[in-house]
Amino acid sequence: MQFKLSFALLSFLITSHLGSSSPIHDYDRIEKRADPVYTTSISQCAAVAARSSPPTSVHDLRPDDFSYAMALGDSITAGAFSRGIQSDFLKSFSEWRGDSYAGGMDPGAITIPNLIKNYKPSLTGGSLGSNAGVELCFGPLCPIGPFGWNSAVDQLNAAQSGALASNLLHEVRDYLIPQVKRRNIPSSAYKYLNIQIGSNDICSMCFQSVIQAGPASPDDFENSIRETLEAVRKGIPNTVVNILGVFKVSDVYTMTLNQPYCSQILPVPHVNIECPCMLLGGAIGNATRAAMDSLQSQYNERLVKIVKEYQQKRYADL
């Protein structure tokens, strides 16, 4: 059984805004090509030469070696509300999973699975189409067992809108692993798994940046990630896991402040619904957003720590 953990360094650096005291300084040397090629379509991406010999492990893979694309996460990975406000009002609340950057495979969508599929046309597992409503899972407010997914649309994208880090193990055990077994996916086949989580934890429990104990604390977040990775490593062998850093959610406040578009559904700007810690005004809001940023940095430090450990272990045979 083989397992590899990678880290989305570029996305992490762009979105995380970590301070100089963060361990991100270990990753600040990213090679930049002097001759980048820009295209208007994935199909125009440069081809790769044929392999002279097949890969022998997950530590030696190219895009054309993957057979399946998978994803775990929250509403971002589920593609919830990603097409914005629709002329058909009810469609505004859909999950456009086929467009999901992390797990979508609708034709023409610019997604990681479609980028891989460009080099491996037989790739499967990406979401197709949309769900009329969200597949909700928020902490304890989550369906028990293998319920709450629409496999015809979701495919191997197990993300659920509202998910916390503590819900990832549920996504793996109750949906992803059973789906892999149901499809008779060979253990020897190479798989790509994208994980992005943490935004809902930060939004609803930013006070954990100070309390440091209980649900959504840095320790709890780290334990949830570790349990999830071990479940994947043991249950879905030959998987490359790509973990994204938690982005600076608090920036959404200034980005949307006084934007008329954001008041179309509810005619009150910055209604405090989805992200309690972010959308308060005045001194209280400044304090809660600072707490969000602190917790984000603490989460990302834990993610870097986990990734380093897995990279050092280089799991090959169990």
Average pLDDT over residues 158-182: 98
The radius of gyration of the chain's CA atoms, rounded to the nearest angstrom, is: 20
pLDDT range class, residue 281, cuts 50, 70, 90: confident
- What is the average pLDDT score of the chain? 87
pLDDT single digits (tens) 74-94 = 999 999 999 988 888 888 899
Q: Residue 250 pLDDT more than 90? A: yes
**Are the C-beta atoms of residues 267 and 32 closer than 8 Å to each other?**
no
Q: Residue 298 pLDDT more than 60? A: yes
Cα–Cα distance between 300 and 24 in angstroms, integer?
9
Cα–Cα distance between 200 and 212 in angstroms, integer?
17
pLDDT at res. 316: 63
Q: Residue 275 pLDDT more than 90? A: no
pLDDT range class, residue 274, cuts 50, 70, 90: confident
Least confident of 45-49, 52-56, 259-263: 259-263
**Are the C-beta atoms of residues 307 and 7 closer than 8 Å to each other?**
yes
Adjacency order of strands within the sheet including 3-7: 3-7, 239-243, 191-196, 68-73
pLDDT at res. 237: 94
Spell out a b/e string for 219-234, using b for 16 or more CB atoms within 10 Å of the CB, else e: ebbbebbebbbebbbe
DSSP for 128-171?
Answer: -S-BSS--B-BTTBS--SS-S--HHHHTTB---BT--GGGHHHH
Least confident of 9-23, 83-97, 98-112, 279-293: 9-23
**Are the C-beta atoms of residues 10 and 245 closer than 8 Å to each other?**
no
pLDDT at res. 282: 87
Q: Residue 26 pLDDT more than 70? A: no
Residue 207 per-residue DSSP state: T
What percent of the chain has a predicted confidence (pLDDT) above 70?
86
pLDDT at res. 18: 32
Least confident of 26-35, 141-150, 161-170, 197-206: 26-35
Q: Full-prediction pTM beyond 0.85?
A: yes
Give the CA count within 13 Å in the CB-facing half-sphere of 286: 2
What percent of the chain has a predicted confidence (pLDDT) above 90?
69
pLDDT range class, residue 47, cuts 50, 70, 90: confident
Average pLDDT over residues 230-234: 95
Least confident of 34-38, 71-75, 102-106, 307-311: 34-38
Average pLDDT over residues 160-171: 98
